[in-house]
Structure 1
């Protein structure tokens, strides 16, 4: 299975989570929230063939960590993926919108200059603004994580060639399932957003990404095994843009 958006470094005992994911054979995109966290988070996964660490700059921290943009530029050549990056239009962050946009635009420009990356992108309350900046840069493959926009915003994202990562927490709600049902089947990846994503009060971990299969089987009216094979094929397709995982090893 695949968990395409997980904050491994933010669990109380990350090595325990990593061990369980490794034993279960889960491929994990370990996203970071600031450039300074990337090297340490990458070290957590040292020797783990199925874990990749993404270079991030979370919009909620853009106003506090603006000075780390130079470090992002320095690290980009070493990072096979970018994430978590993007914009957040939540009320408590509105005063920082301008700085968020500067940081995200800089991240996209740097990523474009580096040849593009697969990017895990945050767009809560700011879907159209995220799409506007994505259209201005040829920065790679955007994967919108836990997408919360409306139907028209979702269609605009699909038209813009975005992928989507979807987790059990998103699929708990009727609105989340309705959004997921509209997404192109061949551009969906599982995620958990652990430890922030939860089920019954428990933080999700990479092994829990498996839970999306049953929900998609119901949404798509196909057997669970067909869903599994579709998601695996999607993952094989997207890693061709970041060819540091052997496609033949994915099952």
Structure 2
């Protein structure tokens, strides 16, 4: 039996045909964490996963639109008990987003506070040009859950700090296309690295990545780690299993069995 792929950060609802994207997830057998950008998108996005046991939907409020959607925080709190996963959340320090820094930090502080009160969540976190500030915020909310830094692009020093804090990392094919991304991968704690696509935003050769399309990242990881791509897939699945077994709040989890055909993993 082939080893299924793991895609820990994908915007399922933002593909041109989300229903078809969900169908392709089901056909591929990949485990997919479908992140959302606003609380209002959560119910509709979660509905896409109906009938697909390996898709789970994270509840998010993206930093790039935090200033527009800050009014949805009460809805975030109302929906939080329905999921073990929160994302996409975080901070963005790029020039176009920095004018709304105050709203970004208010939103992230609220989300982490709510997650901690709810028993913690598995968190998929955006930190572009804001790694230190994100880590500072996580340090102030140690009970918020298990942080997974998506497409990390900070410095080596920030990466070491993140690793020392217990952060996990999700990396995708687009990140692996440049030397900087490969250098960061080499410095990450291997036992806390997972694959992602960030589709449909991330693309390879001008084509958006489909959910679960992580094989180019696995090839790069294999070269970095000195193993085969099949070895990477198997190792990522073990790592994913450990993440899925994290003690956080939300709906109860069933421990994944990588060799079984029954419901597995993203519980």
Shorter chain as denominator, the TM-score bin is over 0.9
Which has the higher mean CA deviation after the structures are superposed, 34-43 or 225-234? 225-234
1:148 aligns with 2:170: no
**Structure-2 separation of matches of 1:107 and 1:165:** 20
Structure 1 segments of 4 or more deviating over 4 A? none
Residue 246 of structure 1, CA deviation:
3.9
SS in structure 1 at match of 2:99: helix
Distance 2:212 2:44 in 1: 22
Q: What whole-Å deviation, never above 9, does each CA across 1:186-207 have from its counterpart, x for those lacking one?
A: 1011000000010011000123
Please show how residues 18-167 of structure 1 align to structure 2 within 5 Å: 18-137=22-141, 138-167=143-172
On the 8 A contact 1:32/1:55 being kept in 2, the answer is yes
Instruction: State the partner residue of 1:11.
Output: 15
Q: 1:119-174, CA deviations, whole angstroms, 9 ceiling, x for partnerless residues?
A: 00000000000000101111010000000101111111111110000000000011
Relative to total residues, which structure has the larger helix share, 1 or 2? Answer: 1
Shift of 1:20: 1.4
Q: Is the 8 A contact 1:42 1:53 kept in 2?
A: yes
Segments of structure 1 that go 5 or more residues without pairing to the other structure are: none
- Looking at structure 2, the residues matched to 29 and 65 of structure 1 have their Cα atoms a distance apart, in angstroms, of 22
Say what the alpha-carbon RMSD is for the aligned residues. 1.2
Q: TM-score, normalised by structure 1?
A: 0.97
Q: Give the Cα–Cα distance (whole angstroms) in 2 for the partners of residues 205 and 64 of structure 1.
A: 28
> Does the CA-based 8 Å contact 1:108-1:139 persist in structure 2?
yes
Matched pairs, number: 251
| Counterpart residue number, 1:247 | 256
Deviations 1:182-226 (A, max 9, x none): 111110110000000100110001231122211111001112222
Per the normalisation by structure 2, the TM-score is 0.91
> Contact between 1:185 and 1:230, CA under 8 Å: does it hold in 2?
no
